[in-house]
Structure 1
């Protein structure tokens, strides 16, 4: 098996870490389709209770170049505000990638908002070389979701307080 390609992205937000974690991670399956219906139609729990071992299917809106992706929840720690999951089916790289694993961590920043880290590991199929430009496009979409949740929380200070 080829060595995984790892990317680490850092982000910051004026929103306090507990609110961002609650909205983006704990209630993201409900909130994100409401905020971005043009991109994400729904998120369904296919297996489990939402905790580690659960499988979730994210269904994309009509006209998207992908129909869905399935994620497995690997770890969830509400106290430490960490979340790990792996893409196990679907996605635009299905022909090139065995799996993609993500580790998200949020923490309070001294200014009162939060700072976070997202580590993504792309495990290519044998003989496949990962194109970093393709990966950047996917990461930009993920950042758009983060920014939509952040804008919602800034505009609605009582939400997820």
Structure 2
């Protein structure tokens, strides 16, 4: 049986926690195709209302090593800006990865910005090994999501000023 792999990561943002949480976590399926069309071809909620127990599906361009992924939002606390999701299909599930979860908490900072705290864990398929470059690439991709949302929110100060 393959050993689990995990990492933690923090991303500092000048954007207020509620805005970044709603844009980059809760509504990323809407924003991703608009903000990153060279990477995300389309995305939508396929089951549920976009909150806990919902399933979201993202389809990628040829820039990505896989064509799609589905994730289930297992837990969402919109008041504490926390979420937990599980990768359930695509993105290497059944090929490289047996299971993968992402826990996100967006914490307000005294200066009006926030810190995104991420815990990611996966159980690799038997015989699969991951190196530091691959783990750093995953962190870089996740940072890219939050920094892209941050840029959008700075450029659009009214966007996500009220919870969705």
Query: What CA distance in whole angstroms lies between the structure 1 residues aligned with 2:143 and 2:39?
Result: 13
Could you tell me which residue of structure 1 aligns to residue 133 of structure 2?
133
Superposed CA offset, 1:10-47 (max 9, x none): 11100010111111122211112111111101112222
TM, length-normalised to structure 2: 0.89
Matches within 5 A, 1:71-82: 71-82=71-82
Could you tell me which residue of structure 2 aligns to residue 61 of structure 1?
61
Query: For structure 1, which segment, 26-35 or 120-129, has the greater mean C-alpha deviation from structure 2 after superposition?
Result: 120-129
Could you tell me which residue of structure 2 aligns to residue 112 of structure 1?
112
In structure 2, list runs of 5 or more residues that go unmatched.
none
Alignment of 1:26 with 2:26, yes or no, is: yes
Could you tell me which residue of structure 2 aligns to residue 87 of structure 1?
87
Query: What CA distance in whole angstroms lies between the structure 2 residues aligned with 1:66 and 1:103?
Result: 22
Query: What CA distance in whole angstroms lies between the structure 1 residues aligned with 2:66 and 2:147?
Result: 22
Q: CA RMSD in A?
A: 1.7
Query: What CA distance in whole angstroms lies between the structure 2 residues aligned with 1:92 and 1:132?
Result: 18
TM, length-normalised to structure 1: 0.91
- The alignment covers a number of residue pairs equal to 161
Aligned-pair distance for 1:93? 6.3
